[in-house]
Structure 1
Amino acid sequence: MSSLYTQHPTDDEHHGRTFLVVVDESEEMRAALRYACKRALNTGGMVALLMVVDPPEFQHFGGIGRLMSEEARAKAEEILQRLAAEVKAGSGHTPTLYIREGDRATELLDLINEEPEISILVLASGTGPEGPGPLVSSLSGKLINKLRVPVTLVPGHLSDSAIDVLT
């Protein structure tokens, strides 16, 4: 739908690969984040974080929809700023932050196509009985041919020490 917010690091150095992590409030996202940070640290790369917020359900009430959108954006900014500190500690660089509004898979594909510095998408699979998660399922299905970057799929149940060994 639209880009609500983008924050690039203040330094202009080229850092090689950029590992994009889709942020949500799932437990397995932490595995993807740690993996991306460790890979960025070990390869001289950077991390980028994307959070996609749902569009307001009450779009026909302009003021209410706008307020709901602003609240969702503020919450997303707060989450990303907190994670940015973790990324800087884990990778050595300040991440690029993106907030978008709309369908998660669509916004992810659009961002990857718009931002040439993104070189690897890092996702974690769900750990519950419902399967790997909706984004992993859609990207491993018919949407895989729309990606221009490789996808690294991290098992969501991996411990920090197991991820450290792998990276």
Structure 2
Amino acid sequence: MSVQPRTDERVFLVVVDESPEMPNALRYACRRAKRTGGRVAMLYVMEPPEGQQWGAVVELMREEARQQAELVVARHADVAVSLTGQPPATYIREGKSRDELIKLLSEDKSISVLVLGSASGVEGPGPLVTAFTGKLGGQLRIPLTIVPGALTEAEIDAIS
């Protein structure tokens, strides 16, 4: 169940996934929301199932992916509640993360800040950070905050 934010609140959107840097982005967003009287929103994007020729199998795969998505979102929503005292708005969608994120930002005008975690490994900052600091950056209508994945909780608390 999703709690929709009020239009006068500052809403910090975090893209929820299983990456090691995502909890840093969530912690930062939660702390900023609490300090500014805002709210956290979370977007989880499921990959579409492959194998379109087997309709029943694809539907089963989609249902299992949805159940997994709901578990992941619920786990992170609990963290958001513990840090902010209020439930986050949640969105679960199917498609490509980048495309669904752009769609959500155009649909929900209450979202005021996008918060992404940046990977600290040699493979680069991650696909969304790379996309939105590059060619797709011009499609954002809101500020983008990038939280380094290597920060400790104490360091995040100090800057948020």
The TM-score with structure 1 as length reference comes to: 0.92
1:125 aligns with 2:118: yes
Task: Give the equivalent residue in structure 1 for 2:90.
Answer: 97
C-alpha distance in structure 2 between counterparts of 1:65 and 1:148, whole Å: 35
Unaligned regions of 5+ residues in structure 1, if any?
A: 1-6
Unaligned regions of 5+ residues in structure 2, if any?
A: none
Match of 1:82 among 60, 68, 75: 75
Task: Give the equivalent residue in structure 2 for 1:68.
Answer: 61
C-alpha distance in structure 1 between counterparts of 2:79 and 2:119, whole Å: 22
Which structure 2 residues correspond to residues 127-166 of structure 1 after superposition, within 5 A? 127-166=120-159
The TM-score with structure 2 as length reference comes to: 0.96
C-alpha distance in structure 1 between counterparts of 2:7 and 2:85, whole Å: 14
Q: Is the 8 A contact 1:15 1:44 kept in 2?
A: no
Task: Give the equivalent residue in structure 1 for 2:11.
Answer: 18
The 4+ residue runs of structure 1 with deviation greater than 3 A are 12-15
**What SS class does the counterpart of residue 145 from structure 2 fall into?**
strand
Task: Give the equivalent residue in structure 2 for 1:4.
Answer: none
Task: Give the equivalent residue in structure 2 for 1:9.
Answer: 3
C-alpha distance in structure 2 between counterparts of 1:48 and 1:13, whole Å: 12
C-alpha distance in structure 1 between counterparts of 2:159 and 2:23, whole Å: 15
- Residues 14, 110 of structure 1: alpha-carbon distance in 2 compared, 3 angstrom cutoff: closer
Percentage of pairs with the same residue = 49
C-alpha distance in structure 1 between counterparts of 2:48 and 2:2, whole Å: 24
**What SS class does the counterpart of residue 111 from structure 2 fall into?**
coil
Q: Is the 8 A contact 2:112 2:143 kept in 1?
A: yes
C-alpha distance in structure 2 between counterparts of 1:17 and 1:8, whole Å: 17
Cα deviation, residue 85, structure 1: 1.2
Task: Give the equivalent residue in structure 2 for 1:56.
Answer: 49
C-alpha distance in structure 2 between counterparts of 1:101 and 1:13, whole Å: 25
Task: Give the equivalent residue in structure 2 for 1:42.
Answer: 35
